[in-house]
Amino acid sequence: MSDILVIGVDGMLGRCWSELLESRGVEHRATMLEDLDIRDRAAMNRFITPGTKWVVNCAAYTLVDAAEENEELANEVNGHAVGRMAEQCKEVGSKLLHYSTDYVFDGTARTPYPTDHPREPVNAYGRSKAIAEELIERSGVEHLLVRSSWLYAPWAKNFVLTIRELAKTRPSLRVVDDQRGRPTDSRKLAEVSLTLAEQGSRGVFHVTDGGECSWFELAALIADIVNPECRVEPCTSDEFPLPAPRPAYSVLDISATERVVGPLIPWEARVRDVLGLLEP
């Protein structure tokens, strides 16, 4: 990849992309929200110019619950702005690498969702991300659309770091056991996305850690590593009602990705790795 523009480096995944490209000595341009609000078409077109080979879009409205009340804003940022980005990429001959989510599915499946399963989102955030998927496909731009789920990293606000903090001080925690998915180390997500892009993979790919679990199982491992004295107990989603409904089962089928990049490392090992990087 050369002449890369990474949008949204102030976010969790965007920072992974910056660090990855810097570690490999790959020159790139990067924008934060203060440099580029992707809703501003003219500003976007000033960054996506002829000569740009790849646009990597990590910017998004990711407040899943708040999106229920702000669906118009979520649709604009996650949907229509990305549609215009795709059009501009097509116009100047750039390829587009964009991220989407397991929340485009309704969660009623019992086996992992293949990449071509119909989109049936059950919340506003999922609907907004589905708009972008459709617009990218319709634009005709050369693209790599990577769906992922349950992102965490050694930085930013995420479930792994939240549970780590709570487990340090609480004697017990109750965590939902009726939603299953695949956690994803965001650093690995950036790395695998780059490999897919470089190896010529195009269209929709699913990238997560290997294995699957419930939020309870994920929290139990984190507590076990951080403070085994903290007891983690399973509960149901009904006990913690949230504004946005969540799919009960959102395991993404990663087999097509694994055929290109090899087996993805199980989530337990990735979570241990991330926690191992942090100060006690």
Ligand X SMILES: NC(=O)c1ccc[n+]([C@@H]2O[C@H](COP(=O)([O-])OP(=O)(O)OC[C@H]3O[C@@H](n4cnc5c(N)ncnc54)[C@H](OP(=O)(O)O)[C@@H]3O)[C@@H](O)[C@H]2O)c1
Residue of 48, 55, 77, 197 that binds ligand X (CB under 6 A): 77
Please, which of residues 23-52 interact with ligand X by CB under 6 A? 33, 36-39
For ligand X, the closer CB: 130 or 230:
130
Pairing of β 4-7 and β 54-57: parallel
Q: How far is the CB of 228 from ligand X (least distance, A)?
A: 26
125 is a catalytic site residue: yes
Type of residue at 4: I
Q: How far is the CB of 251 from ligand X (least distance, A)?
A: 13
Q: Whose structure tokens read 């149901």?
A: 236
Q: How far is the CB of 39 from ligand X (least distance, A)?
A: 5
Type of residue at 220: A
Q: How far lies 191's CA from each of 2, 184, 187, 252, in Å?
A: 15, 12, 6, 18
Burial profile 129-144: b = 16 or more Cβ within 10 angstroms, e = fewer: bbbbbebbeebebebb
Residue of 4, 21, 48, 62 that binds ligand X (CB under 6 A): 62
Which residue in 61, 113, 125, 249 is the catalytic one? Answer: 125
Taking the C-alpha atoms of residue 237 and residue 3, their distance in angstroms, rounded to an integer, is: 45
For ligand X, the closer CB: 36 or 230:
36
73 binds ligand X (CB under 6 A): no
Please, which of residues 134-193 interact with ligand X by CB under 6 A? 148-151, 156
The closest of 251, 206, 249, 247 to 121, measured between CA atoms, is 247
What is the binding site for ligand X (CB under 6 A)?
8, 10-13, 33, 36-39, 58-62, 77, 99, 101, 129, 148-151, 156
Residues noted as catalytic: 125
